[in-house]
A and B are shown apart, each in its own frame.
Chain A
């Protein structure tokens, strides 16, 4: 347990008669990049919402960063970062204003915010854009900025819900370099994606089908088990049922 960033046991969410997430059990180790895959509507987003404290599970148990998803959602929120599939910075605020705002709502000190702002702008090479509104940035930069903002408060775990939708392969590659860097710094990454090349980058992946986790392991293990050459084929075999 001690070495796990996330532990879920029989985690379930029902909406009326419909079971969106059906007793999923898995664990994510500290510093791991965990790919959370599944077809559209398989229940990934609902599962993430339970883990980040936006949705109360119907059944089961789970801890995130050592805190209980039923009783300690506030402690969880302090220790995680989140980037949703919708691009989620304020387009009409400048790069600096966005970083300041998110630093502010996580209660960072004035000094810390100034430091963070400087280091994010430096790391992302955004110097010439610092005082421009975010809406003017190219999509790839916006997404990297989103990621940086999601980790502004040095969270232990970062949840990324389809972070690279709609960008070209070169930009996705750059984005994954940021993920690797965060992982090397000991941050746990929990990521959903539809790109199977990205699945190959993950340390371990789980594949959800109709609310259940049907496969879990390293990309290599899964390819061996299903006797195929790529994660694409693993996914298609499972998703087809």
Chain B
């Protein structure tokens, strides 16, 4: 009996070893997940981009800036002159926090008049914003303590925190863009890759190809219904966010919807590309899950701030389309940005469309010519 059982186990082991896909999932999955969760699900961060608006420009304020940036956690990207310029920087997504040093900082500080430092953050990513302000508050406290050792009464610095775009730190402001990015990617890419793989698997693809239809038309015809369906999904997610969770749409709705369409096109192109490689529906499914769903969830910045990730993951996140779509949504919905401030992510998505369709077309030619 045992021998029979072992023969069976042996056969099953051979199956697994033969199938590299299963092996990749078996060992790649835990490694990837542990690393991603281990490194990103922490409140640590480094190199967060900040702007400092120094309104006193005296020795003490320079020392204070030095103190903040010396830790390595903050990276000073800009020294604008007034608070108003912060809005533009937040919309472009280059800066996450602005620190405002009031005028007469040094004079007031040594007079022991309470001085107030303003911390203004982009709270469209609420968790990240909270992490940044709490760290900045600590740094301010330690700066104050450095001088206070010998001084009685102590020097006083107060902090005032402003959460821009999302003052109540509502989670939905963060998850609606994330969910939209995830859903659209899954529906568009996975469904198209499945439906084309299905035609290949059942042999109906051959029949389409021997018909006089140009191959381009076959592909376009296949993805067209999914464009419409996914677009309806996008509208559905935004409407639910707006009416149920009160996520505002400050920017132009037309811009938001047309950029959703752009993102959809990227997803569809990915789906077509996957389907040119995958021979069966099962393979298409596996590849979609592994290369689309996980990165979209983990590396788009909606669950974990990208800035807190190790550099390898940060680089990988640059090729995750959802990453740019989440940025776009946050900018348009929460910050009321127009297309000028998000031209960078838009451009990248457009480039992705062309590169992906070109790659898909090349694969298609290789197979059918």
Give the B-binding residues of A (Cβ under 8 A). Answer: 52-56, 74, 77-78, 80, 82, 84-91, 102, 105-107, 150
Contact = CB atoms under 8 A, between A and B. Distances in A.
Interface residue SS majority, chain A: loop
Contacts of B369: 55-56
A84 B206 contact: yes
The 7 closest A-B pairs by CB, nearest first: A86-B203, A88-B203, A82-B210, A77-B212, A105-B211, A88-B207, A84-B206
B31 interface: no
Contact of B202 (A86, A102, A105, A107): A86
B209 A54 contact: yes
A5 B209 CA distance: 21
Nearest to B213: A105
Interface string B201-220: 01110111111110000000
Contacts of B207: 82, 84, 88, 102, 150
B203 A84 contact: yes
B210 A52 contact: yes
Contact of A77 (B204, B210, B368): B210
Question: Among B202, B204, B368, which residue has the most Cβ atoms of chain A within 10 A?
Answer: B204
Nearest to A82: B210
23 contacts: A53-B210, A54-B368, A74-B212, A77-B210, A77-B212, A80-B210, A82-B206, A82-B207, A84-B203, A86-B203, A87-B202, A87-B203, A88-B202, A88-B203, A88-B204, A88-B207, A90-B204, A91-B202, A105-B208, A105-B211, A105-B212, A105-B213, A150-B207
B203 A106 contact: no
A89 B210 CA distance: 14
Interface of B: 202-204, 206-213, 368-369
Contacts of A53: 210
B336 to A, nearest CB: 46
Contacts of A86: 202-203, 206
Contacts of A87: 202-203
Nearest to B214: A74
Given A54-B209, A91-B202, 9 more contacts: A54-B210, A55-B368, A77-B210, A77-B212, A78-B212, A80-B210, A82-B210, A88-B207, A89-B204
A188 to B, nearest CB: 16
Contact of B206 (A56, A77, A80, A88): A88
B368 to A, nearest CB: 6
Nearest to B210: A82
Contacts of B368: 54-55
A7 to B, nearest CB: 19
Nearest to A74: B212
Given A86-B203, A87-B203, A106 B209 contact: no
Contacts of B209: 54
A56 B367 CA distance: 11
A85 B11 CA distance: 31
A240 to B, nearest CB: 31
A87 B204 CA distance: 8
B206 A106 contact: no
Nearest to B203: A86
A74 B208 CA distance: 13
A85 B204 CA distance: 11
Nearest to A91: B202
Nearest to B218: A105
Contact of B212 (A55, A90, A106): A106
Nearest to B200: A86
Contacts of A52: 210
Contacts of B203: 84-88
Contacts of A89: 204
B206 A54 contact: yes
A102 B202 CA distance: 16
Nearest to A150: B207
B307 to A, nearest CB: 47
